[in-house]
Chains A and B, each alone.
Chain A
Amino acid sequence: MYNFDFAKPSTIADAVKAMSEEDAQALGGGQTLIPTLKQRLAAPSTLVSLTGIPEMQGICMDDAGRLCIGGATTHATVAAEGAAHYPALAAMASHIGDPAVRNRGTLGGSLANNDPSACYPAAVLASGATVVTNAREIAADDYFQGMFTTALDEGEIITEVKFPVPEAANYQKFVQPASRFALVGVFVAKYADGVRVAVTGASEDGVFRWSEAEEALSSDFSAGALDGLSVDASTMIGDLHGTPEYRAHLVSVMTRRAVAAC
């Protein structure tokens, strides 16, 4: 990989300053970025490590009953410490990648990258979470803007994500066995004011809400409510792992399983 300067700030303010340099790039756990750098698909001048910032670490509940997770918190920490507050989210985190990847990979890193097959975007979108950055708060519905594309501005850092805790939730992942990413993943979250369903891995546009299923489930929260509903295969990803039609079919199957498991 090309060389770069390495910065490890200990406060958000210092990180923002370091990110203002031309071609600076934030480094979370590096589980996607480091392989990308090795392929020479990125060539930052400075890599700003966000893992040494205490105020971006850890998990707590706020006064509004939301689960707040620091942007640099690892998947392993969310899996271990989130279970008591939001079991479905912790269960999802405990199945990302493999144990060594979970010990490095971070919530903020996953969201900033917005891989179309990543698990976290489904959880954040289905929870109607709020993405907090050094500059502002972004609603999940506004944050995800297509494959590898987000509302983040240049140099903006995800410091925290606030998850409203649902009455019931479940994530079902159909694993692509070579990469362990989701071939299709569906996160269903039931709140007092309605059900949210977010799908990852399937669409050419990245994570999306399946609004038809949300309406059906909001009036009747049972797998049977999904009878006859399907997503349009024409916008699904097709590759050697699965055709668009196969992915569209899996979306229905995984949604049913998630509802049944709630």
Chain B
Amino acid sequence: MVEISMNVNGKPVSGAVEGRTLLSAFLRDDLRLTGTHIGCDTSQCGACVVHVNGEAVKACTMFAAEADGAEVTTIEGMANADGTLGVVQQAFQDEHGLQCGFCTPGMVMSAAALLRDNPTPSEAEIREYLEGNICRCTGYHNIVKAIQTAAAKLTPVAAE
């Protein structure tokens, strides 16, 4: 077993894991943070995307031991401190950017990573960035709209 510790959503956590324990399993089974979804478990679908040291990664394709000492943010860390939905989450609700909702945690985490790197993405850039996030309801149109709405809220165009 490997002793690991990391900050998850700002809180220090630690545990003992096997070498083969995936970050997705550590988050869901050990920390009970089940918002991170496992869709395919083969790194295709992106439902398990979380941020490790600020970068979007697929938690099913990274070992928990590799995140030792890291800052990890999951979908549970995206809400505001008072429990209300964060800007990206609220935009997904407002634009109905989900149908069954299974892919939504990964979509929100990828969207947040995109908007941090590129606060004013074009529609084409949004669609390209979501290449690794699959929505099998095929609800991409409203997901893209939600990300555009979130971008506008996070980076308002200066009033003339």
Contacts and interface: CB of A to CB of B under 8 A. Distances in A.
B57 A103 contact: yes
Contacts of B46: 98, 100
Interface in A96-140: 97-101, 103-104
A37 B58 contact: no
B63 interface: yes
B56 A6 contact: no
Contacts of B66: 8, 30, 49, 51
Contacts of B57: 100, 103-104
A31 to B, nearest CB: 6
Contact of B43 (A5, A6, A31, A47): A31
Nearest to B43: A35
A38 B41 contact: yes
A186 B93 CA distance: 43
B132 A98 contact: yes
Contact of A104 (B22, B41, B61, B113): B61
B82 interface: no
B20 interface: yes
A2 B18 CA distance: 10
A129 B116 CA distance: 34
B20 A103 contact: no
Contacts of A103: 55-57
A97 B132 contact: yes
Nearest to B64: A6
Given A8-B68, A30-B63, A100 B19 contact: no
Contacts of A182: none
Interface size bucket, A side?
Answer: 20 to 34
Given A34-B43, A98-B46, A104-B62, A5 B19 contact: yes
A75 to B, nearest CB: 12
With most chain A CB atoms within 10 A of its CB, the pick from B49, B65, B66, B110 is: B66
A92 interface: no
A100 B110 contact: yes
B132 A6 contact: no
Interface in B39-61: 41-43, 46, 49, 55-58, 61
With most chain B CB atoms within 10 A of its CB, the pick from A6, A51, A97 is: A6
B154 interface: no
A97 B58 CA distance: 12
B143 to A, nearest CB: 15
A180 interface: yes
A97 to B, nearest CB: 7
Contacts of A100: 46, 49, 56-58, 110, 132
With most chain B CB atoms within 10 A of its CB, the pick from A8, A51, A97, A99 is: A99
Nearest to B65: A6
B160 interface: no
A61 interface: no
Given A35-B43, A99-B113, A103-B57, A2 B132 contact: no
Nearest to B58: A100
Interface in A1-24: 1-6, 8
A99 B43 contact: no
A100 B22 CA distance: 16
Q: Nearest 5 A-B pairs (CB), nearest first?
A: A98-B132, A6-B19, A103-B55, A98-B131, A6-B65
Given A97-B132, A100-B132, A103-B55, 17 more contacts: A3-B20, A4-B20, A6-B65, A8-B68, A30-B62, A34-B62, A35-B42, A35-B61, A49-B63, A99-B56, A100-B57, A100-B58, A101-B132, A103-B56, A103-B57, A104-B57, A104-B61
